[in-house]
Structure 1
Amino acid sequence: MAAEDMGQTSILICQVRSAKAEHKMDETNFLLRTKHFPSASKVVYLGNVTSTLISLLENPETPMFTVPPSYNEQKWSLETTSGQMKIKITSDSYWGLGLFNSGYLNTIILEGPINLRSRIVYDLTSSLPYKPWEFKHLSSARKWIKRKYPNLDEKTNQNSWLELIDYSNQRFKEIIQVMKDATEKVSQKVKINQSTEYWDKEKAGVSLAAAEFDLELAKGALADNNAPAVERAIARIEASLIEADPETGVHENESLEDVNKERIIISEITIDSQENSEVDIDSINQIDSVPLNEDIPLIDLTFESEQE
C-alpha cells in the first residue's frame, strides 16, 4: 500500500532503547515539563523515541498527558499538535514486566497531511541509531501487537514506516532533479550570452560551478538521509542560479540582500504541496521568499542515549 493511500492517519509501533528521568508531568495541568519544574509534579520516563520525536516537531504545543504515569513511570499516553499534524504517543511494556528499557514499545499515531507525517518519520528514523520497527524481543512484540492491534502485524508495521520514509525520499529526489534541470537551463543561457554592463559571464560561470558542486552535495546528503543538509544545499543552489542567470544575475550596484529577495521557497515546489507534485522549472526565480524563523523550543528534550 502506497503512502498516499494511507489516508490522514498513520499508526506506527516502535522499540524503545533507553529512558531516563529527564522530565516531569505537571500534576495540575498534566503537561510535560523538564525535570527542574518546581511545582507539584511527577517523574516521567519519556524514552529515547518520544524525546527525539518531540524535539523534531516545529513549534509544537506543550504535550499533555491523556493517561498520566502512575507507579510505572514509563507507562503513559500523551498528545500534542504541530501545525496541521496531531501526534499521540503511548508508552507500554511488552516484555520483562516493564523492568527493563528494552521491554517497552511506543505506539505513535500521526494525524495530518501525508507530507508532514512522512517528513517527521523521515527525520525521526534518521536521528535514531537503529531501525525503530525492529523489536528487541520479537516473539513478545508479536503477541503484544496481536492483542492491542488485531489488524496489524510485524510486517505491516514495518511497511508503514518504510512507505512514509520512501515518500519523503522520493520528494527530495524530485527537488534535486528540479534543481538539476534548472542548472542545465541556466548553463545554456550562460553559454549563449555575452557579458554586459549589468551581467558578468565569468562571474556567472563561478556561480554556476558553485551550483553544480552543491547539487552533488545534495545528492550525497540524501544518500545519508540528512534532510537538513539537503535543504541547505538546495537553498545555496537557488542563490547561485539567480546570480548566474543573465536575466536575474547580480548587477554591479546590487547587494546580496537584493538577490536573496528573489530566492524561491523550497517547500513551495514539492514538499509542502501534496496535490501539485509537478514543478514548472520556469517558475524558479519568480517566487518571493519568506524569512524562516526558528523559535526556541519550550521544552528541553535533550538526553543521553543509553543502550542496554
Structure 2
Amino acid sequence: MAQYEVVMAADSLVGIKNLNPDSVLRLYMASNEKVAIRLFAQVWAPRPMMGVDDDNIVRTTVRPNAKRKIILGDVAQAFLRAFGPSDPPKLVGDLGFDEQKWEITAFAFETELSIISRPYWGFGVFTKCFLNEIRLTGKREIIDRTVYDSLSFLGRNPWEPVWTRRFERNIGMGVEEQAEIWKNSQLRAETVMREILREVISISGGTGGPDFHGCAVDLEMARVALDDRNSHAFERAISRVSGLLNIKADDPWGELGGNDGSEVVDLTKD
C-alpha cells in the first residue's frame, strides 16, 4: 500500500500528498506563501452590537467593562466567525459619534484581518449606506478559506451594492472586478476540498475498493456538504473517513497504514 501524508493547515483545511515519486497528483499543502487581498462589501444588517473596553478590545456588550459600543454588522460578523479562533479583535483609533464608523483588526495563524466600516452614500443615515473594506494579509490557504466561509455564512453576494455608481466610485473599481476577487478565493478553497475528496476516495480503493463501502456514507456526506458550501460539515465527514481508513497521527504528519493502535488524526480540532 502506498504511503500518504495527512497535512493539517492552521485553518483546519486538510490536504493529502502521495509520497510515491511516480505520482503526478499533488494536492494542497500548507505553504508559507504570503498574499494580501482587499475586498469591499455592502452591509445589510446592523446587528450585532458589540462593546469596546478600555484596552480597545471588541467584546460582546454583556461584558461589564465595555465602555463604548459599535454596530458590527452582518459582514464583519461573518468574517470574524469565519476567521476562527484568534486574538480578540481590537478597535483601531478612537470612536466618533457614529457607532457604525470604525476600524477593527484581528490576528490568527500568521494572518491579519482588518475591517473598516464607513458610509458611501446618504451620510450614513441608514445601515445600507455603509460598506465594509476587508483586508486580509497572510497565508493564501487561510485567506481563501476565510472568504469561502464568510460567503457561506452571509448567504448572499456582498459585492452587490445598494447604489452601484456610488459604490464603484468609493472603492475605485467596478463591481464585476471586485466580484472576481471574491469568486477566485472561493473557487480556490472549494477546489482544494474537492481534490481532497477525490484523493480520499482513491485511498479507499475507489468505488469498487474493499475500504470504500465502509466509508461510502461519510464520503457522500462530504460531497453533499461541498455542494452546500458547508466546509465544517465536510471536515467532520472527512475526519470520520480518515478514522475508518486508519490514518494515524505522527505529529506533524499522519501516515496511512495498518491498524496498529496508533492514535487517529482528529481533523475537527482547532
Q: TM-score range by the shorter chain?
A: 0.7 to 0.9
Look up the match of 2:167.
141
User: Which TM-score applies when normalising by structure 1?
Assistant: 0.69
Q: 1:164 aligns with which of 185, 188, 200?
A: 185
User: Which TM-score applies when normalising by structure 2?
Assistant: 0.78
1:210 Cα deviation after fit: 3.1
Tell me whether 1:231 sits opposite 2:235 in the alignment.
yes
Tell me if the contact between 1:52 and 1:127 (Cα under 8 Å) persists in the aligned partners: yes
Alignment of 1:99-248 (within 5 A): 99-146=125-172, 152-184=173-205, 188=209, 190=210, 208-242=212-246
Q: Classify 1:284/1:22 alpha carbon distance in 2 versus 1 (closer, same or farther; 3 Å).
A: same
Tell me if the contact between 1:21 and 1:35 (Cα under 8 Å) persists in the aligned partners: no
Among all aligned residue pairs of Structure 1 and Structure 2, give the percentage whose two residues are the same amino acid: 25
1:14 Cα deviation after fit: 0.6
C-alpha root-mean-square deviation of aligned residues, in Å? 2.7
Q: Kindly provide the CA deviation profile for residues 94-117 of structure 1, in whole angstroms up to 9, marking residues without a partner as x.
A: 122101111110011001111000
Tell me whether 1:14 sits opposite 2:18 in the alignment.
no
1:291 Cα deviation after fit: 4.9
Look up the match of 1:45.
71
1:285 Cα deviation after fit: 3.7
Structure 2: distance between partners of 1:38 and 1:232: 36
Q: Name the SS for the 1:73 alignment partner.
A: coil
Q: Name the SS for the 1:38 alignment partner.
A: coil
1:294 Cα deviation after fit: 5.7
Tell me if the contact between 2:243 and 2:264 (Cα under 8 Å) persists in the aligned partners: no
Structure 1: distance between partners of 2:236 and 2:83: 18
Q: Name the SS for the 1:60 alignment partner.
A: coil
Q: Classify 1:169/1:20 alpha carbon distance in 2 versus 1 (closer, same or farther; 3 Å).
A: closer
Tell me if the contact between 1:186 and 1:241 (Cα under 8 Å) persists in the aligned partners: no
Going by fraction, where is strand more abundant, 1 or 2? Answer: 2
Q: Classify 1:35/1:52 alpha carbon distance in 2 versus 1 (closer, same or farther; 3 Å).
A: same
Q: 2:58 aligns with which of 32, 35, 38?
A: 32
Look up the match of 2:13.
none
Q: Classify 1:186/1:139 alpha carbon distance in 2 versus 1 (closer, same or farther; 3 Å).
A: closer
Q: Name the SS for the 1:62 alignment partner.
A: coil
Q: Name the SS for the 1:112 alignment partner.
A: strand
Q: Classify 1:218/1:290 alpha carbon distance in 2 versus 1 (closer, same or farther; 3 Å).
A: closer
Compare CA radii of gyration and give the structure with the larger one.
Answer: 1
Going by fraction, where is helix more abundant, 1 or 2? Answer: 1
Tell me if the contact between 2:235 and 2:267 (Cα under 8 Å) persists in the aligned partners: no
Tell me if the contact between 2:59 and 2:66 (Cα under 8 Å) persists in the aligned partners: no
Q: Kindly provide the CA deviation profile for residues 209-259 of structure 1, in whole angstroms up to 9, marking residues without a partner as x.
A: 2312222221111111111111111122222233xxxxxxxxxxxxxxxxx
Q: Kindly provide the CA deviation profile for residues 177-223 of structure 1, in whole angstroms up to 9, marking residues without a partner as x.
A: 101111226954x4xxxxxxxxxxxxxxxx64231222222111111
Q: Kindly provide the CA deviation profile for residues 57-91 of structure 1, in whole angstroms up to 9, marking residues without a partner as x.
A: 23211111113321111001111101211111100
Structure 1: distance between partners of 2:48 and 2:237: 38
Structure 2: distance between partners of 1:7 and 1:84: 9
Q: Name the SS for the 1:43 alignment partner.
A: strand
Q: Kindly provide the CA deviation profile for residues 131-185 of structure 1, in whole angstroms up to 9, marking residues without a partner as x.
A: 1111122121012112xxxxx4322211110010000010011101101111226
Q: Which runs of 5+ in 2 are unaligned?
A: 1-30
Structure 2: distance between partners of 1:174 and 1:223: 14
Tell me if the contact between 1:93 and 1:104 (Cα under 8 Å) persists in the aligned partners: yes
Tell me if the contact between 1:126 and 1:225 (Cα under 8 Å) persists in the aligned partners: yes
Structure 2: distance between partners of 1:289 and 1:82: 26
